[in-house]
Amino acid sequence: MQPSLVLAFKPPISVIEESGDRVVIQVPRVKGNIPQYTFPIEPVSPGLLTALRVLAAEGATEEELSDRVLQMDGFPQLPAFYYYLQQFINLGMLCHTLLSEGLPLATRVPIYPSQKFDWKEVAIDQKYRLSRFAYCHQYEGNFVLESPLSHAKIILADWQGAALIAALAQPQTCQELCHKIPGIAPETIQQFLSLLLSTEMLSEVQGDGKIGEETNKAMVSWEFHDLLFHARSRKGRHNNPSGKTFRFLDQLEQPPMVKPEVSEDIIKLYKPDLQKLQEEDYSFTWVLEERQSIRTYSDKPITDKQLGEFLYRSARNKRIVDKDYGQCTHRPYANSGGRYELEIYVIVNTCEHLAAGIYHYCPQEHHLGRLTERNSLVDALLEEAYFATNQFSMPQVLLVFAARFQRLAWVYESAAYSLILKDVGSLQQTMYLVSTAMNLAPCAVGCGNSDLFAAAVGTDYYAETSVGEFILGSRLGN
């Protein structure tokens, strides 16, 4: 049975009455790459026009709307009304609101167009449980239930909806919920559960006490944060603005291309002769074939000269380019939009002519700025990398990549953080190839401690902290 949900256009969809018998339903442009959508209806009958006006205003149930069409246009116009209604639902243009005692309890808002809304009725004596991917948060003043499994979100109007959601963390039948959360009619609770079930927030509890997502082999491996990040940073399951939207253009100053010097204690680095390297270097194929992760080192530490050459060949600024939205650069590794948000911090354990401690690499000047000498935080960072690389040898040098997040978020929306992680991969691969060509021992590190890094370097965790690591040392036999 289809419930008596109130249907209304999703704001800010509007109905433009262009002439007596032509209307255009206008779906405004979402900033980014989802185009403006217009839906013309011509000829529009008086009853259909009234129904459209109601959908654009306070909304009404499907029954109320069809009654109006029937009264004003007569029976022959009803199929046209149902045809358009189904089109609006399929295009994600309609919100469905469930009322309790005449007041909104929950509103289903589609977040991605072209999705059908198949109503699934819950069984009165069947147990249901909330998906582990469903989550509530405050958004634009509303308490919203969302899930990366769903193409819609649910706005919870008040405490009753929130209380029902909280109870559904455990398996519940409609009857059990009626006892737990008094004051809501049993049929409303049934409709509320049906709304959640039809929006992939809820599942039927099976005989073994599990819900579908717990027995589906493809889904069990997904962690909550990973699936949410995947679904929201890629296109297709949301209609949030995505890509280069420059959302902070008039609000925030973008961080500069080169991070201002962090220290007055500057150490100039060796620059290799690129011309000579081009003549004498290993072949590209040799480097590719020889590249491997090496986690043990010779007793002789890496030298400051090797470190200088390595950083020059992997990460220096080659040239600056002025784009219409600010300065970008070119470096040996590719990077999202030429924004180069990654800062390299060199954590030295042992390096010839370079004291242990933390240094910041300036890619523009190709020098190091000394930040701190060896201390307990430096040791903790080195130990983290040592344990992450199976405790073969203490790293001679640990390179920590810290992202100046706003440098990318200033340009990109929805995908900024995922792009940062891809940039880490690009830098790591370049470093692997350069260190192989230099007979050094390289190894990427997968998991670092961003809080520890921010404390060691003194950055604001939300403005700049570590997103990737790489260890380097002198190769055995050298």
Ligand X SMILES: Cc1cc2nc3c(=O)[nH]c(=O)nc-3n(C[C@H](O)[C@H](O)[C@H](O)COP(=O)(O)O)c2cc1C
Question: Which residue, 109 or 445, has its beta carbon nearer to ligand X?
Answer: 445
Report the nearest approach of ligand X to the CB of residue 432 (Å): 7
Beta strand pairing call for 6-9 and 94-100: antiparallel
Nearer to ligand X, 102 or 446 (CB): 446
Q: Which of 38, 293, 364, 391 is close enough to bind ligand X by CB under 6 A?
A: 293
> Which C-beta is closer to ligand X: that of 33 or that of 293?
293
Closest approach of ligand X to the CB of residue 293, in Å: 4
Q: How far is the CB of 144 from ligand X (least distance, A)?
A: 34
Cβ contacts of residue 284 below 8 Å, gap of 6+?
Answer: none
- Which range in 130-138, 291-299, 329-337, 413-421 contacts ligand X by CB under 6 A? 291-299
| Count of Cβ atoms closer than 10 Å to residue 118 Cβ | 7
Least distance in angstroms from the C-beta of 292 to ligand X: 3
Q: Rank residues 130 and 443 by Cβ distance to ligand X and give the closer one.
A: 443
Cβ–Cβ under 8 Å, residues 11 and 71: no
Residue nearest to ligand X (CB): 446
DSSP annotation of 415 reads S
| Contact between residue 155 and residue 109 where contact means Cβ atoms under 8 Å apart | yes
Enumerate residues 402-431 that contact ligand X by CB under 6 A. Answer: 428
Nearer to ligand X, 184 or 443 (CB): 443
Q: How far, CA to CA in Å, does 159 sit from each of 109, 144, 190?
A: 19, 12, 17
Closer to ligand X by Cβ: residue 178 or 287: 287
Considering beta carbons, is residue 190 or 428 the nearer one to ligand X?
428
| Burial 188-201, CB ≥16 within 10 A → b, else e | bbbbbbbbbbbbbb
Query: What dihedral angle (degrees, nearest 10) is formed by the CA atoms of 379, 381, 386, 388?
Result: 160
Q: What number of CA atoms fall less than 13 Å from residue 386's CA on the CB side?
A: 15
Residue partners of 325: CB distance under 8 A and separation at least 6: 246, 249, 254, 411
Show the site string, 349-388: x = touches ligand X by CB under 6 A, - = not: ---------------------------------------x
Q: Which of residues 431-450 bind ligand X (CB under 6 A)?
A: 443-446
Q: Considering beta carbons, is residue 184 or 388 the nearer one to ligand X?
A: 388
CB of 444 to ligand X, least distance (A): 4
Among the listed ranges 66-74, 84-92, 290-298, 453-461, the one in contact with ligand X (CB under 6 A) is 290-298
Q: Does 389 bind ligand X (CB under 6 A)?
A: yes
Q: Which CB, 350 or 426, lies closer to ligand X?
A: 426
In the complex, least distance from residue 478 CB atom to ligand X, rounded to whole angstroms: 18
Distance between CA atoms of residues 29 and 241, nearest Å: 10
Amino acid at 461: Y
Number of chain positions touching ligand X (CB under 6 A): 11
Phi-psi region of 252 (alpha: psi -120 to 50; beta: other; left: phi over 0): beta
Minimum distance of ligand X from residue 467's CB (angstroms): 11
Query: Which of these, 220, 213, 101, lies nearest to 160 by C-alpha position?
Result: 101
- Cis omega (within 30 of 0) for bond into 43: yes
In the complex with ligand X, the residue whose CB is nearer, 152 or 444, is 444
Q: Binding string to ligand X for residues 31 to 70, with x set by CB under 6 A, is what?
A: ----------------------------------------
Question: Both tokens of residue 454?
Answer: 């921010």
Task: Name, in order, each residue with C-beta under 8 angstroms of 181's C-beta and a sequence gap of 6 or more.
Answer: 160, 163, 164, 167, 189
What is the C-alpha to C-alpha distance for residues 247 and 472, in angstroms, rounded to an integer?
38
To ligand X, the closest distance from the beta carbon of 352 in angstroms equals: 25
Q: How far is the CB of 229 from ligand X (least distance, A)?
A: 16
Nearest distance, CB of residue 336 and ligand X, angstroms: 17
Whether the Cβ atoms of residue 445 and residue 470 lie closer than 8 Å to each other: yes
Interface residues with ligand X (CB under 6 A) are 292-293, 295, 388-390, 428, 443-446
